[in-house]
Amino acid sequence: MTVNNNSGILIVGSIAFDSVETPVGSVEKALGGSATFASIAASYFASPRVVAVVGEDFGDEHIARLTSRGIDTKGIERIAGGKTFHWKGKYHENMQDRDTLETCLNVFEGFDPVLPDGYKESDYVFLGNIDPKLQAKVLDEVGHARFVGMDTMNFWITKTPGDLRSVLRKVDVLFINDEESFQLSGERQVLGAAEEILKLGPKYVVIKRGEYGALLFGHDLRLFVPAVLLPSIVDPTGAGDAFAGGFMGFMAGATKITRSTLAQSMVAGTVMASFAVEAFSIDGLLELDTLMINNRRDELRSMVDHD
């Protein structure tokens, strides 16, 4: 995979402490959040710039884990006396279903993205799962980005459908899982859901299906990438954000937006998601190298090479 770390990508989303229990273990207040997973995954292909908010409990050691990957953290605002967003959840035996045990938004409840100097000229933008009004605000400040991706979830689909649809008209690709695609579209089949979502404005929609891979739909374009086959999964938290980060990072390093670069971005996203689930928190993403990423890419491609 071609890597161009001079390509900047703006990532706006959450930084959190996650307390997670899965069938194989547990972790307390480990580093997580959409911006965290996405920026680390993207950092192997481009130079991420993060806009997020944290509390006073977010120490310099956590910032150092991000900067160790070359991530620009000037856009991370630390609120004196505040506490960082905290999520606690427990996964079922199938590693797909989970129960949210506790959600403490803390400083994230009042998040109002502030873009430092230079961030507004970003050519590539990924809007993590935040209020669509905030996503729209960021896009208004960025201006003429070359390629914009966004994530959303069932909460915003239900609570703010008008704001969400307004943002969808301004983005290039929407990342969404299959159940969310059904909810947004009113359809119960993936193809029908994708076709309805494309009518809302995005040029492409990526529907993530967990162990069944991911699909990208565009007007007159369909791409499929299977999931990487893994002997075991430790923690699925952040896999979707790692996918989006890998996808957007690869796109930011590409010179053109073509069918080929979209397909390679799908592969990059799938590969980064597969590393993310092999450990708790961001530990599966931090110590990778180009050889490891390329080997897993080749393994994935060999699964669908029938020559």
If one counts the domains in the chain, the total is 1
User: Which stretch of DSSP H or E encloses residue 268?
Assistant: helix 259-276
Mean pLDDT score of the chain: 94
Residue 7's pLDDT is 63
Whether 68 maps to a domain, the answer reads yes
Q: Which two tokens stand for residue 235?
A: 């923690």
72 contact partners, CB below 8 Å, separation of at least 6: 47, 48, 49, 50
Residue 306's pLDDT is 80
Assess whether pLDDT exceeds 50 at residue 30. Answer: yes
- Structural domain containing residue 193: 8-302
Q: Which two tokens stand for residue 36?
A: 């965290």
Q: Which two tokens stand for residue 288?
A: 């990778």
Whether 307 maps to a domain, the answer reads no
Helices and strands (H and E) in the chain: how many: 11, 13
Whether 1 maps to a domain, the answer reads no
Instruction: Name the residue with tokens 């952040």.
Output: 238
Whether 3 maps to a domain, the answer reads no
Assess whether pLDDT exceeds 50 at residue 6. Answer: no
Q: Which two tokens stand for residue 38?
A: 């996405």
Smallest Cα–Cα separation from 28: which of 100, 85, 86? 86
Assess whether pLDDT exceeds 50 at residue 2. Answer: no
In this structure, are strands 47-55 and 8-12 parallel, antiparallel, or unpaired?
Answer: parallel
Query: What CATH number should be reported for the domain holding residue 182?
Result: 3.40.1190.20
Whether 298 maps to a domain, the answer reads yes
Q: What is the rounded average pLDDT of the residues 246-268?
A: 94
CA–CA gap between residue 152 and residue 157 (Å, rounded) = 8
Residue 294's pLDDT is 96
Q: What is the rounded average pLDDT of the residues 68-84?
A: 97
In this structure, are strands 25-32 and 16-22 parallel, antiparallel, or unpaired?
Answer: antiparallel
Burial class of residue 98, CB neighbours in 10 A (0-12, 13-18, 19+)? middle
E strands in 186-255 = 204-208, 214-218, 221-225
Angle between helix 34-42 and helix 60-67 axes, rounded to 10 deg: 30
Residue 4's pLDDT is 45
Under DSSP, is residue 68 helix (H, G, I), strand (E, B) or coil? coil
Phi, psi of 164 (to 5 degrees): -65, -45
Whether 144 maps to a domain, the answer reads yes
155 contact partners, CB below 8 Å, separation of at least 6: none
Burial annotation 221-256 (CB, 10 A radius, 16+ → b, else e): eebebebbeeeebbbbbbbbbbbbbbbbbbbbbbee
The predicted-structure confidence for 273-283, as pLDDT tens digits, reads as follows 999 999 999 99
The predicted-structure confidence for 155-213, as pLDDT tens digits, reads as follows 999 999 999 999 999 999 999 999 999 999 999 999 999 999 999 999 999 999 999 99
For a pLDDT cut of 70, what percent of the chain falls above it? 98
Under DSSP, is residue 53 helix (H, G, I), strand (E, B) or coil? strand
Whether 2 maps to a domain, the answer reads no
Whether 253 maps to a domain, the answer reads yes
Tell me the pTM.
0.95
Assess whether pLDDT exceeds 70 at residue 142. Answer: yes
